[in-house]
Structure 1
Amino acid sequence: MSSDSVIQPYRIAVPDAAIARLRKKLELATFPQETSFSNDWGYGAPLDDIKRLAGVWRETYDWKRAEADLNEKLPQFITRIGVEGHEDDLKVHFVHKKSEKSGAIPLLFCHGWPGSFIEVSKILPLLTASDRDDEPTFHVVAPSLPNFGFSQGTSRPGFGIPQQAEVCHKLMLQLGYTKYVTQGGDWGFMISRALGKQYPAHVIGSHLNLILTRPPSLLSSPLLCLQYALGWFSAHEKIGFQRTKQFRVDGDGYSRIQGTKPHTLGISLADSPIGLLAWIYEKLWGWTDAYGWTDEEVLTWISVYAFSEAGADASVRLYYEVTHKSKSMDSLLEWNGKVPLGLSYFPKDVIVLPSSWGKTLGPVVHEKRHQTGGHFAAFEKPEDLVDDIKTFAKTGGLGAKLTL
């Protein structure tokens, strides 16, 4: 398929009527009655924080300025992609910036929930440029996944990880990238794994910053089971286990709701900007490592969901599709010897597993356990993540694989 005929430049342009409607809803917001524990993070998003952010969103936050900033910093495009069993011409929005350095490596950046394409904004200039001759650079592609951001919403059930991977792969081919590296955490981890399984001849490496594995079993990993039973882990790995346990006890209720009854929640997310703000703000605060979120950053992040083409409700349906095809998703956690891996562990991610478990996914050519950082590594720790990606590419000889 000729990319010239289907790919068009894109600029975000939210209608004034949509902005006015959002402000009107904020003016009419009803907040819960205050209690002595309204601001206890143990119960969820603090009421005072949400009231303050809602006031800024209503009175002083300027989406048009944020929109102009995104349009200025991020070269954006749209194209049409057919997905087997779904839309024949799904509109896909994406960021695409090429490096001016010869031999640059195509890199597909996949966001997750509650992220979006804007997560690439800080790492984009770092990945595409370098003053050192021996340091790799990248042609970066960062799509809004279907049902997110400014990509089209899907209309049929069953649009899960394999379909997201199909869209991403076809997008890379449209751009002329027949071989490429993937990078992602959250859903980006699963999509990267699916790409490596579905298109191993095209994926020359995957760098991951949320590492998920199946627990070791006596049949498949007896030594890992023994290690687990005896507690033979480093201090950092033991802290990671504690973080993982805390998340599974107190933090993954959102996933259970989104994975079982996404429409019920989605009705609230689509109608109430306050509900949307609280639902996502809790994750921004709880999944990061004391990151100093500004009001501008939070509200731009939330506004991308509020003004998304498919609506904020569409984004949570992916959880349902994955939950109801969990057995097929298990295959993405199996060993894949065809795709070399780079693994970055950040201590305040929602799940932080031992390095030995990560090595069950495939051939690991580079890994690093960081002292700080959380779930949104590209936004929280852009320099650290980019350094890991470049080291992975150099160590794995990924540039040379483009010509094989």
Structure 2
Amino acid sequence: MASTTYAAETPFTIAVPEADIELLHKKLDLARFPDELEGAEWAYGAPLADIKRLAAHWRNGFDWRKAEAAINTIPMFTRDIEVEGFGTLNLHYIHRKSDVKNAIPLLFVHGWPGHFLEVEKMLPILTGSSPDLPSFHVVAPSLPGFGFSKAVKKPGFKSSQYGELFNKLMLSLGYNEYVYQGGDWGGILGAFLVPTLEHKHIKAWHTNIPLTTPPTLIRNPLLYLEMLLSPINKTMREELQATQHWFNAEQGYSILQQTKPQTIGYSLADSPVGLLAWIYEKLVAWTDNYPWTDDEVLKWISIYYFSRAGPAASVRIYYEMSNGGTKNILAGAPKATIPTGVSYFPREVAKLPRSWAAMFGKLVYVKEHDKGGHFAAFENPEGLASDMFAMYGKGGGAFGVVPGKNGYD
């Protein structure tokens, strides 16, 4: 059988045109801010004082060129990949290789409002060399329409297309067998694409957002009966109440992006202050008291503002994965049969009963962390990396799943 030929990769460096920076500054100069109710603080959304301070710093203090130079020290590439029915997508990705001969190939997939830099702090940890810990070759793509990946140009790009795109990326790098890690959309997409690529290509996977639909009598009879018969303890009750509150009070952004992404897209694309407020609120609300500096926030937001397709393209994944808001995003996700790991961070946006994690697949690793939130790789990189080491290290539930690649010298 003839082998598939893939396009060559191209080393990538960010070089935002000076004209784009000047336009950003002009727009910030002309920004018009809303008023604010007395004592509103965070109840109505991002506080006015915070957004004014950040906008002023973005205009007069933040040094994008310095941030750009720091990002460019990370090994980044682009590659043309053909996706059936959608033509060629030029995909941007990080590829940090380990010096360890038998390192494990790891596909790390981000979500919204994250991007490829979520993995930045984990790169030196995961690719390090230790006789007692596994090591990884880390591949972290920008989702289509995010960061510096080309955006999809027509409707219908769903989980199967993401699976084809990411698998072809890994194969093009010579990784026929690899493992997977995802949070936010990375975790949701993993729930769909891992079962379709398992065994042959994906050998094990881990998520830090163990979201699933409730068990049903037909699909999960034992778990369903257990849920009905088992008493709800205090912790479970509090977590379910917090999750219900999040769905009731914090999901307006998701409903809008699932149903009318083009409408919010005009604000995100044209107004840097609108983009800043839209994402900053999530950075603060979804993290575990993470001490954001203004420069960190603006570096994060600038990736969206200067993204290849513009920030509006990033929100369309909500529409595609929910069929325009007509179905539950997680509905229909099959169960994986490969080694599966889940980690719980205390400030994750939704907290479901731990027993439901069994619906993800063959559970071999479960970890409760005492700090961290939705952006676990960025907030608590040591904690999430320790999960990778425990799951794939000697004695771990997924040790040796990639033949000949145990991550040890």
TM-score bracket for the superposition, by shorter chain length: over 0.9
Paired letter, 2:98: S
Partner of 1:43: 44
C-alpha contact 1:11 1:71 (8 A) present in aligned 2:
yes
Cα distance, 1:227 vs. partner? 4.4
Partner of 1:60: 61
Provide the rounded CA distance (Å) in 1 between the counterparts of 2:44 and 2:329: 34
* Partner SS, residue 43 of structure 1: coil
Partner of 1:167: 165
Partner of 2:78: 78
Cα distance, 1:130 vs. partner? 3.2
Provide the rounded CA distance (Å) in 2 between the counterparts of 1:185 and 1:177: 22
Provide Cα deviations, 1:125-160, integer angstroms capped at 9, x if missing partner: 1100033x1311100000011110000111111112
Please show how residues 198-277 of structure 1 align to structure 2 within 5 Å. 198-200=196-198, 201-229=200-228, 232-233=231-232, 235-277=234-276
* Partner SS, residue 43 of structure 2: helix
C-alpha contact 2:212 2:330 (8 A) present in aligned 1:
no
C-alpha contact 1:266 1:313 (8 A) present in aligned 2:
yes
Cα distance, 1:255 vs. partner? 0.5
Task: Identify which of 8, 15, 23 aligns with 2:10.
Answer: 8
* Partner SS, residue 138 of structure 2: strand
Provide the rounded CA distance (Å) in 1 between the counterparts of 2:233 and 2:125: 32
C-alpha contact 2:102 2:404 (8 A) present in aligned 1:
no
Partner of 2:400: 399
Gaps (5+ residues) in structure 2? none
Provide the rounded CA distance (Å) in 2 between the counterparts of 1:130 and 1:270: 42
Provide the rounded CA distance (Å) in 1 between the counterparts of 2:15 and 2:184: 28
Partner of 1:144: 142
Cα distance, 1:246 vs. partner? 1.8
How large is the Cα RMSD of the aligned pairs? 1.8
Provide the rounded CA distance (Å) in 2 between the counterparts of 1:34 and 1:401: 55
Provide the rounded CA distance (Å) in 1 between the counterparts of 2:180 and 2:381: 16
- Aligned residue-pair number: 397
Provide the rounded CA distance (Å) in 2 between the counterparts of 1:163 and 1:263: 21
Cα distance, 1:230 vs. partner? 5.5
Cα distance, 1:329 vs. partner? 5.0
Cα distance, 1:224 vs. partner? 3.5
C-alpha contact 1:105 1:399 (8 A) present in aligned 2:
no
* Partner SS, residue 245 of structure 1: helix
C-alpha contact 1:161 1:190 (8 A) present in aligned 2:
no
Q: Which moved more, 1:189-198 or 1:51-60?
A: 189-198
Provide the rounded CA distance (Å) in 2 between the counterparts of 1:178 and 1:193: 20
Cα distance, 1:195 vs. partner? 2.7
C-alpha contact 2:97 2:127 (8 A) present in aligned 1:
yes
Provide the rounded CA distance (Å) in 2 between the counterparts of 1:382 and 1:160: 29
Partner of 1:343: 342
* Partner SS, residue 123 of structure 1: helix
Provide the rounded CA distance (Å) in 1 between the counterparts of 2:42 and 2:112: 21
Cα distance, 1:213 vs. partner? 1.3
C-alpha contact 1:244 1:350 (8 A) present in aligned 2:
yes
TM-score normalized with structure 2 length: 0.93
Cα distance, 1:45 vs. partner? 0.7
Paired letter, 2:152: T
Provide Cα deviations, 1:209-245, integer angstroms capped at 9, x if missing partner: 0011111223343443454446635554443323211
Provide Cα deviations, 1:344-383, integer angstroms capped at 9, x if missing partner: 0112111111221001221110011112211000001100
Provide the rounded CA distance (Å) in 2 between the counterparts of 1:109 and 1:86: 23
Provide Cα deviations, 1:79-138, integer angstroms capped at 9, x if missing partner: 000111112x2111100011111211000000000000000100111100033x131110
TM-score normalized with structure 1 length: 0.94
C-alpha contact 2:213 2:330 (8 A) present in aligned 1:
no
C-alpha contact 2:204 2:401 (8 A) present in aligned 1:
no
Structure 1 residues 109 and 231: alpha-carbon distance in aligned structure 2, compared to 1, 3 A threshold: same
Please show how residues 115-194 of structure 1 align to structure 2 within 5 Å. 115-131=114-130, 133-194=131-192
